Structure 1
Amino acid sequence: MPALPLAIPAAARAGLEAALAAAGIELGALKSGTRVTHTVITQDGTEWELTYLGPMGDEAVWHLAGPGVEHGNSLSTTEAAERITAPPAEPDAAPASNNYIPTAAISAALKRRLTEVFPGVNFHVRKGRGTGSAGVSVSWTDGPSYAEVNRVAAAYQGSYWDGYNECYRQAHNILTVTYKGETMTGKPLVDHIGTQQYVSDATRAAAAAIWSEAHDGADPEKAGHSQGFVVDGEFVHDARANRQVDQIAREVVLPRRWAAAKEEAILAEAAKAEQQGAAPAPAEPSGGGLSLVHSEEEGVVVRGTSRGDGSASVLKAAGFRWYRKGGFWYLPGTRNAEGALCLAEAVATLRAGGLTVTAAGADTGPEEPTDGPTVPDVPEARAEEQSMAPLAPTVYYGVPVPGTVAKVWDGPLGEGWRYGVRSAQAAG
């Protein structure tokens, strides 16, 4: 095993601090007895360890140790920050179990889940061969990124290999799946999920055309080594032309096409709903009797939720996160006196998502009417205030825009409401 570096370069540390700071997380002190391992503690109390391994292009490589890590022993600065700052999954209410779910059952359940999350993408999910094999392989062409697929697959892994300490660690996932007519609950008998994204000929041809345009019409198949250049804000590294074409395909063309495909699906669902003469309902419009409260210790939190009440998707879209230890949803960045000012805006956004919400000590206004005009009437005394509000449409993807949402249209809560509408229509 190669020796670890003796110190962390200042640029590598600064890059990691900046990536974590974007999510409001501070890089902790060096671990006692080491020069290259930092600790990081997130807002929900989860502890991580990051060990500097060396440089990789414009970023550093880190070994990440923490709960549910399934990527191996090396992550770039960006990947490590994304893994640490990712919102925790809604807790599974299934009881602790000493039972194990066979790998074949997990493989089938994972394919069903991927097909639900990414409709229209053909996934090939295979159980590893050989006696005692507990691995699963997932492959697909074009479509979603590795990160999107890995986030879904992580919940189906029972353990993962810690290459730094050379041992398997438990992922603590408990699942309930149905396989061959039998419903079973337990730990996934899966110690590895390998993902492989292939690039179609059409995508590669589009990437080759972009490369050729940047090199005065040259043919990448006949070119040799090429200097780095920038495409749509992405830096293409110095490499042989065919390697640069592959990078353009994966980092420019595929994300562009996948974003367009998702937007097209949302528009198609909206058009279908309009043809049927009814606007699509927000996803999971339930969660009755919820209350929002604020304190300087906890910030803005939601009380009264329960697993399966349908409030999770609306809360996530509005920017709330699940605090696993406390057992409640909270709004990041509101643990101060000024956080109380966010109560009314948060209530309006959650009501627009279909939830019944009240707030203690906040002037949130009346509940949005279920029937009535598309845009609520505005009293004359508030005409000047309304004229200063962000310019918002009266209807968004076939859904009437409530007046409370129109006021915060350009803010994070307005974006949360729009995301909820798009997600609901994409889910059908």
Structure 2
Amino acid sequence: MTALLALDAHGHLSIPDRAARYTLQRRDAHEGAEWETVEDLTMPDGTLAGATMELLASAMLTDLDALAALDEGVVSITASRVSFRFVPTGEWTALTAAHPLAARYTVEGTHAGRGTWTTANVRRTEVTRAEVRELTNLSSGGDVALHGSGVIIVEASHLGFALRLTPIPEPAYRQEQWGSREVAKYLRSLLRKTFPGQKFSVRCGRGSDYGYLSIRWTGGPTEEQVKAVCDPWQGSDFDGSTDYMNRREPLLIHKDGELVEVRPVTDLFDYTRERPEGVEDQAKKLVRQQTGAAWDARFNDPRPFSYQGETFFGVTASAQLTKIMDAIEAGAIRVD
């Protein structure tokens, strides 16, 4: 059954039982012409929201001096040289309060009726379920269309701007957020397992240094080895160009027999490896024996020398002393 449609007193076309989304097609008047989808007047997903469709149809009727008809949901606009039709897109429905929503959504925007989806002009790129409820409450007019995949299109017709909300899949594992105390406790256990018999001190900062962890140990593994174990649990990185802490991706661990996603709320880690008792004194003694120079706080003349098949040099005295202490700890040399 076909019903004729006309513009109201304000020059607007209102469609009874308007669908959530439409595909716009055109056909020339010559014989044998076929319907073609009009891509440059549609959203990036190839469809039009119902509100945009009504506005566009009103403009066509005014400009083309054409006739509009409604037949089983399809709106046809027929003119002397060209015809258009708006075909309801079946996989879209109007969003209602009864529809379940995901916990979180990504946000993209575009100008209604044309353009590409982008995050360039949106205030936030991710929103919660509660924020989606607020966004989709269009008291001033517009359309909210729900796709079968869960994607939501929000169009404010008076603004000429549309948003696409894409659900973020919820993980199949539990999520937890750990402060510095939880992270410190976990790292103590992890370090004991990784370096059996080695003692570590993992302490949390307080007050404004809440996210700071100090990791100290004597002898044993190198700083690089300990950092490889602990560094993934530093939840943020400092960006000097912006003077801002950037959050890292969460970590997955096995806890109580299940996979858990943990987001550490920690900022900076400090690593201090202390030498076993007597090692530094032995190294300074060796410097005195081999170079005749007393190593003290003012020592700044790192003269190269060889001892028990090892050669020791350094750009600074401290660098040279470090190499000597490493060799003593490793058992490469022995100082009498």
TM over 0.5, yes or no?
no
TM-score per shorter chain, which class? 0.3 to 0.5
TM norm structure 2: 0.40
TM norm structure 1: 0.32
More helix by share: 1
Query: Could you say which structure has the larger radius of gyration?
Result: 2
